[in-house]
A and B are shown apart, each in its own frame.
Chain A
Amino acid sequence: MKSHVWRPLWVLLGVIALALVARHFVVPSDFGVGERGFMYGFHRKSNEDDWKAFKVKYLTKEYCKECHEDKYESNMASKHNLIECENCHGPAIDHPDNPAKLVIDKSRALCIRCHAKLPYPTSHRGEIKGINPDEHNPGEECSMCHDPHKPDME
């Protein structure tokens, strides 16, 4: 037993022991094998709650209805009824507390996302009424002539 040959072995065992003790304190106690087994489910359980607690920002039309009923009603009765208010006005988050007002984007870029004519067979894009932005009243805001909430032209 006194042989110098054994010494590295004791050192090694000591290192392993230290690592395991350290691991015991560093690794969170809820770390373990989840529902999807060792290969896919090895994780810190409370991280699932971290993700669940993430802030919701987009609240959909039903939320706007409460306070902007006029806009909601006219929008729902139009050909634009399928577009969410927040697509054009940005996420509500805690509006009207924070932010007090939502963005009003009057840029042509907003409308031509759908209305720039693209002649694409087999895609619904080809069926939406399109304009050529370079020719259809260039330089003017679309909302000067069209109501963005109710653009119907009869």
Chain B
Amino acid sequence: MTNMKLTRRDFIMTAVKGAAVAALPLSAFKILSPSEAKAAIKEANVRWGFLVDTHKCVGCGFCVKACKNENEVPYDVPVTRTWVERYVVLKDGKTLIDTPHGGREGFTEQKVQEKDVDPKNIAKAFFVPKLCNQCENPPCVQVCPVGATYQTGNGVVLVDRTWCIGCGYCIMACPYGARFFHPIHKVAEKCTFCYHRITKGMKTACVDACPFGARKIGNLKDPNDPVTKIVMTERIGILKDAFGTKPQVFYLGLDDNVR
């Protein structure tokens, strides 16, 4: 009974501690409020999507050159936001694949990976431009421990350079190898669909650079957009469907050899 006695000293101490805890800034917990999170999810009327026609690509590499210059990715460092792969499928079923410098200087040699290829043995050969798929379910965003990478309301995945700590989780998480470490800014780097251009009504630098219309960008929420029309009516493919990432870069003439 007696040990339940409360001295004046104990009372004051407890009261002060209690008040301190109660005075914690409630705003610090704001991020976890589910009602606020729900209210923030609005229906956007723009969803950027991309269409690649592999029949049209000739492997000139002007898209890679333009992308690097436009987005200040150092030209001579072997990293790039977009690249072009060459597939040479031989009649015996073997497939040769290469992308010298990401296709930056185009494909000017018949040799693939230093090996001569006899034209008579080629069953089919083609070029496949690649870039970030701006996935509907981007795994790279899920793994970011600090909230430095995110998806905008119109579907583009961006990196906040001031907030990225350069841990590299997102680079490992991307199944398409579309992310890399920026050699100057020392943060994760990726294709932004040229966010500074598309939000001004321009096309991406790679789309403008492509002479043959192998690359197109459009608004998938607009049924009259040329890209949307093709995506809705033609037979299109996406990369690594089984991963469930829901890529928003669509391919015409995608071959089974392309992963």
Contacts and interface: CB of A to CB of B under 8 A. Distances in A.
Nearest to B147: A42
B158 A47 contact: yes
A72 interface: no
Interface of A: 1-2, 10, 13, 17, 20-21, 23-24, 31-44, 47-48, 50-58, 60, 82-84, 86-87, 90-91, 109, 112-114, 116-126, 128, 133
A47 B162 contact: yes
Interface in B6-53: 10, 14, 17, 20-21, 24-25, 27-31, 36-37, 40-42, 44
Given A17-B20, A34-B40, A41-B150, A24 B28 contact: yes
Given A20-B28, A56-B202, A113-B62, A123 B151 contact: no
A52 to B, nearest CB: 5
Given A57-B69, A57-B70, A47 B160 contact: yes
Given A43-B160, A48-B158, A58-B209, A35 B70 contact: no
Interface stretch (B107-115, B166-174, B224-232): B107-115
A114 B107 CA distance: 8
B25 A21 contact: yes
Sorted nearest first, the 5 A-B pairs with minimum C-beta distance are A113-B106, A35-B153, A43-B150, A54-B196, A120-B125
A56 B210 CA distance: 17
A123 B214 CA distance: 11
A43 B20 CA distance: 30
